[in-house]
Each structure stands twice: as C-alpha cells, then as structure tokens.
A and B are shown apart, each in its own frame.
Chain A
Amino acid sequence: MRKGITSMGNSSKKSSQKPDALAVAQVFIDELRTAREQLDRIESKLDKLLDSEPEVEKVSVDEEVLSNMLKAGV
C-alpha cells in the first residue's frame, strides 16, 4: 500500500500530498495493528473460557448433603 502511494507522486501537487497520504496510511496501519492485537487478546481469552468450566461462586454445602456425600464413597 505504501509503495503504491509513493509511486503515484509525479506532479508537484501530488508530491506535496505525498507526506500527508503516507502519514494517513501509517496511522491507518497502526490502528489496524492495534485492533489486530486487541482481537488476538480477545480470541485468546475466549479460547481459555471455552477450554474451561466457568468460574463458579463457592456455594456452601447443606449439612445433610455433606454427610450423605461423605458416605457415598468408601
């Protein structure tokens, strides 16, 4: 993309626009790169979430249930 913009610059008018166009393109590329990095981070987080059971809030066990569960295994 950058090469294409440079090759356009033959006339003086175009030549004066070249730095602006390059700067805009660079900003655009930087924004794309940032967005890509954010996407990668989100994708990585999603992978981890899909790979694991959701965090569950610790729930207290009813006393009778606890007693029964302890008896269920020997």
Chain B
Amino acid sequence: MKTIGVDIGYYATKAVCGKKVVTFPSVAGTPNVSQLVHGVGDGETIINLGIGDSYKYIVGRDAILKSRSTERREEREWITSHLWKVLFYHAISQLEPEGGEFRIVTGLPVDYFSSDHVMLKKIVEGLHKFAVNDKRLELRLSSIVTMQPFGAVCNEILSFDGNLKNKSLSQSSIGVIDIGGKTTNILTVDQMADIGAQSFSTDTGGWDIVRAVKTSIQEKFFDYELKDHEVAEIVASKTMKRFGKDVDVSDLVEPVTDSITREIVALTTQVWGNASGLDKIFISGGGANLIGETIADEFPHAVVVSDPEVANAKGYYKYGKFIEKI
C-alpha cells in the first residue's frame, strides 16, 4: 500500500508521495457555463463529488483565475465541508490519477488534535468514489493523523524511505513554529514526545497579514479589487501590478508583517522564555515565507526549514514510511 502525506491548509493544499509533490491554493470554484457545455479547458481539472453540475468544481489557481464564484474557508469545521473533500480528492488524484489503495498521513492543528482526530479519521478512511474530468475514481484509504508541526520535525529527522537520518536531533528538545494560513502552531518535543504545556495553537496566521495588507491597498488605491490569493502574492513579492507597471508596496506590507512577527514572538516567549532550553527551533509553514526570517532573527538557534510550505506534508509522508517499517 502506498503512503501519501496530505496537508490541507487554509491557504494551500500540499500532498507528497515519494518525490512527487503537489501544491495548489485551497480554493475551489464553479466551472463556467462554456466549460460545462464544451468540456474542460486547457490544463483544467473538474472534480465531481456527485451527480449533476451542482457538485462540480474547478480547483486551485484555475478557480482563482476563471471561476465566477470561488470558495475558501477559515473555520475549524471545514474538514466536514465539500470544499475540504474537493481539495483532498484533487490532491490525491494529481498524484495517483488511477486511484487505488493508500495510507493517508495528515495532521491537525495542535489545539484541535485531541478533540478532532477521530472525526478526521472517519472522514478520510474507507471507500471514496468521485470523478475527475468525468473519469470515475475509487480510493480505499486508511489513515494516520498527527499534529501538524510534527510533520516538520519528521521531515528533519527522517529520510524519504522512512529511516532515521539524524539520531542526535531525534533525541533532543525541538521547538517548531508552524505558521499557517489561519493558525500558528507552536510545538515542543523532547525525544520526539510532545510537551503539552509548551504546545498550542493561536489564531494568527498568514491570512491576518493578507487581510491587513488588502485593507491598506484599498485605502491607498481605492479603485482596486483583489482576491485574497492575489493579495497573498503581493505580500510575498512586496510589489503589485498597476496599469501594467510593478509598484513597490513595501511601505504597506512591512508594517503588517512586523506587527504579526512581534505577536508570534511574544506568544512563543510566553512558553519558551528565551528558548535557551531548546536545542533547535524550526520555523515552517507557508507563513514562514513571509515572516520566517524575521522570527528566526529573534532566536540564535532558529532556522526556517527548507521549502517551509511543504515541510509538514513531506514529514507526514516520511512518518508514514517510518511506521510502515515497524
């Protein structure tokens, strides 16, 4: 049975199977009329959850660019939504277009893990039937659920074949600051056991930066209509297109990122102090691309992990391979 690591975040969905990595914005939208009549456009994928057009979705960047109405969510219960299922199916079908039997390794925010893992397992496990571009697909799934930042730790200590690659790190005290779209998760592990008193989730994440920057942009350029994912790209590049020219908007982005950085650092110091008791701090998650380096500057032993957005998904995959060997 193949293992697939799946990390469905409020900003982006990431899935990993071996060296294959799929990532796309966590957005779904309705296909437009011409697509329904004439079929799928170039490179687009339509996921059909049921019978009839009301269950048809296009996903990710295609939805942002082409859908008249798009859906993205930021609430805890979204794992029960059609949107979550569409993102989940799209991720797996991109990696395994023929369907089959798979072990899914995925994660929940630290604070939701105890209460929600049973529900998530029920949603993931069992037989799933859906269609991708009118091709019927069946998935038979089992699952392993862990805490999201645990993926980032596994990514550092395990190799892709599930073997331990860094023994000393596995025996040490590690802190993770996992900056997601809606939540930032702080996880502390000692010899790979989570320390509950020093692990928590906070409702601060990349979307807070996006919302604040969006407001600033609209105040400065009142004639501008932007979708959230477009603003996220502006935040990352600190530039935006206006009348065909690149405009530097660092003055709008940096005050916001500085403020969120200070907030996250303040929260972590409440449980870690100056973090001198930790051997290493890893900063992961898509938000690490925006503010990871400025947070890392606050701790001498903190590093932004390589490819922070997919670190959890890679770690889930490696953890699944590790469990497979036991």
To the question of whether A and B form a pair in one complex, the answer is: yes
User: Interface of A with B (CB < 8 Å)?
Assistant: 51-53, 56, 58-62, 64-66, 68-74
**Minimum distance in angstroms from B305 CB to a CB of chain A:** 14
Q: Is the CB–CB distance between B163 and A58 below 8 Å?
A: yes
Q: Beta-carbon contacts of B149-183 to A below 8 Å, as 1s and 0s?
A: 01000000001100111110011000000000000
Q: Is the CB–CB distance between A68 and B193 below 8 Å?
A: yes
- In the complex with contacts A68-B191, A69-B192, A71-B193, A61-B164 CB distance below 8 A: yes
Report the stretch among B130-138, B140-148, B263-271 that lies at the interface: B140-148
**Minimum distance in angstroms from A70 CB to a CB of chain B:** 7
A68–B176 alpha-carbon span in the complex (Å): 17
B19 at the interface (CB under 8 A from A): yes
**Minimum distance in angstroms from B290 CB to a CB of chain A:** 27
Query: B117 contacts which chain A residues (CB < 8 A)?
Result: 74
User: Interface of B with A (CB < 8 Å)?
Assistant: 19, 105, 117, 121, 144-147, 150, 159-160, 163-167, 170-171, 189, 191-194, 319, 322-323, 326
Q: Is the CB–CB distance between A74 and B145 below 8 Å?
A: yes
Within 8 Å by CB of A53, from B144, B159, B319, lies B159
Query: A53 contacts which chain B residues (CB < 8 A)?
Result: 159-160
Nearest A residue to B320 via CB reads A73
Nearest A residue to B323 via CB reads A73
A47–B165 alpha-carbon span in the complex (Å): 22
**Minimum distance in angstroms from A19 CB to a CB of chain B:** 54
**Minimum distance in angstroms from B114 CB to a CB of chain A:** 10
Query: B192 contacts which chain A residues (CB < 8 A)?
Result: 65, 68-69, 72
Q: What DSSP secondary structure best describes chain B's contact surface?
A: mixed
**Minimum distance in angstroms from B279 CB to a CB of chain A:** 14
A68–B157 alpha-carbon span in the complex (Å): 14
The 6 closest A-B pairs by CB, nearest first: A68-B193, A68-B192, A73-B144, A56-B165, A73-B146, A59-B164
Q: Is the CB–CB distance between A73 and B145 below 8 Å?
A: yes
Instruction: List 9 contacting pairs A-B, 8 Å CB cutoff, sorted by A.
Output: A56-B159, A56-B165, A60-B164, A60-B167, A61-B164, A62-B167, A65-B170, A73-B144, A73-B323
Nearest A residue to B168 via CB reads A59
Q: Is the CB–CB distance between A72 and B164 below 8 Å?
A: no
Nearest A residue to B114 via CB reads A74
- In the complex with contacts A56-B159, A62-B191, A72-B146 CB distance below 8 A: yes
Query: A68 contacts which chain B residues (CB < 8 A)?
Result: 189, 191-193
- Identify the interface centre among A51, A60, A69: most chain B CB within 10 Å of its CB: A69
Query: B323 contacts which chain A residues (CB < 8 A)?
Result: 70, 73
Q: Is the CB–CB distance between A69 and B167 below 8 Å?
A: no
Q: Is the CB–CB distance between A70 and B164 below 8 Å?
A: no
Within 8 Å by CB of B171, from A52, A56, A58, A65, lies A65
